[in-house]
Amino acid sequence: MSTPFIWHNGQLKPWAEANVHVSTHALHYGSSVFEGERVYATHRGPAYFRLEDHTRRLFESAKVYEIEIGYTEAQINTACIELIRANQMKSAYVRPIVFRGAGGLGVLPKGEAPVDVAIMALDWGAYLGDAAEHGANVCVSSWNRPAPNTIPSWAKAGGNYLNSQLIGLEARRGGYDEGIALGHNGLLSEGAGENLFLVKRGKLLTPPSSAGILAGITRDTVLTLAADLGLSVEERDLPREALYTADEIFMTGTAAEVTPVRSVDRKNVGDGTPGPITKALRQAFFGLFDGRTEDRWNWLNVVGDR
């Protein structure tokens, strides 16, 4: 999994030297915020997908928790690009992380508690394996998402992923590829690490961004592409049974990309194969990287261009 370099606090360091101390605040109290980004091998060369949007979300997540990043968004964008060049990668999954560092314990960080910033680039394939193409078998989790007045879901913080781990572990134990959680109000929210889309009678439906979900960048991409294809789209509250009566379901995320769902709680979605709208949106999405979909939104950030 290792790559030659990791960007750590302003320097490119060999993989084995990018380490932290066991007193690191984030290890004890979950005080990290991070991003997951992809570099695609595109028709224009290696390119980040929506890099600026990811970096902006990283800064917003840090703001929620009053973590001072100490670099500008532009500096982080440049560092991301430089890392891919230094590692000579054609495609990658990139993980910028900002966390309260080593400097004594205590839930409230001490005045001088340092903040570490690191960016790692990994060689990662499809997150949900074969399911990416043929469809994932998912379950509805017995774990709910945290209520909005407990842990904010728009901030992509390390601590949020304890909930995701419970959802994912339960799903795996039951033989499923992924778990979907209900929100505090019993309505649909999202997968352990993906946003959720349903198709019902030709209409694309997704829980609103206030449903205790991460406001996913792939979710926004799919909403934009769907509007562009002239599909009818609605962001609205959906009950659990919407999963059992949907014609199509798919999940979105930087890691998961656009993954069809084949069954929920062992009940087939449609005929158990990816439906036409899922296929059209997958084609539009992956078309961004081979040029079949024109990048009218300037979402690609070509690594060689800077």
Which residues are part of the catalytic machinery? 156
Q: Does 214 bind ligand PMP (CB under 6 A)?
A: yes
Name which of 301, 299, 280, 303 is nearest 288 in CA terms.
299
**How many residues are there in the chain?**
306
- Distance between CA atoms of 80 and 114, rounded to whole angstroms? 21
Report which residue's Cβ sits closest to ligand PMP.
216
Contacts with ligand PMP by CB under 6 A: the residue count is 15
Q: Does 195 bind ligand PMP (CB under 6 A)?
A: yes
With CB under 6 A as the contact rule, which of the stretches 105-113, 116-124, 187-195, 263-271 interacts with ligand PMP? 187-195
Task: Kindly tell me the sign of the dihedral angle through the C-alpha atoms of 23, 122, 196, 221.
Answer: positive
Nearer to ligand PMP, 101 or 207 (CB): 207
Among 25, 219, 262, 282, binds ligand PMP (CB under 6 A): 219
Catalogue the E-assigned strands of 130-201. 136-144, 178-182, 188-191, 195-200
Among 190, 205, 225, 299, binds ligand PMP (CB under 6 A): 190
Q: Evaluate whether 298 touches 289 at the Cβ level (below 8 Å).
A: no
Q: Does 101 bind ligand PMP (CB under 6 A)?
A: no
Q: Does 189 bind ligand PMP (CB under 6 A)?
A: no
Q: Evaluate whether 45 touches 302 at the Cβ level (below 8 Å).
A: yes
Q: Does 36 bind ligand PMP (CB under 6 A)?
A: yes
Nearer to ligand PMP, 42 or 164 (CB): 164
Q: Does 238 bind ligand PMP (CB under 6 A)?
A: no
Q: Evaluate whether 306 touches 78 at the Cβ level (below 8 Å).
A: yes
First to last CA, the chain: 27
Q: Restricting to residues 162-181, which ones interact with ligand PMP according to CB under 6 A?
A: 164
Q: Min. distance of Cβ 156 from ligand PMP in angstroms?
A: 6
Q: Evaluate whether 18 touches 116 at the Cβ level (below 8 Å).
A: no
Q: Min. distance of Cβ 249 from ligand PMP in angstroms?
A: 15
Q: Min. distance of Cβ 129 from ligand PMP in angstroms?
A: 17
Q: Does 257 bind ligand PMP (CB under 6 A)?
A: no
Q: Evaluate whether 131 touches 177 at the Cβ level (below 8 Å).
A: yes
- Distance between CA atoms of 303 and 231, rounded to whole angstroms? 32
Name which of 280, 281, 293, 227 is nearest 42 in CA terms.
293
Among 183, 253, 274, 275, binds ligand PMP (CB under 6 A): 253
Provide the binding-site residues for ligand PMP, judged by CB under 6 A: 36, 164, 190, 193-195, 213-214, 216-219, 252-254
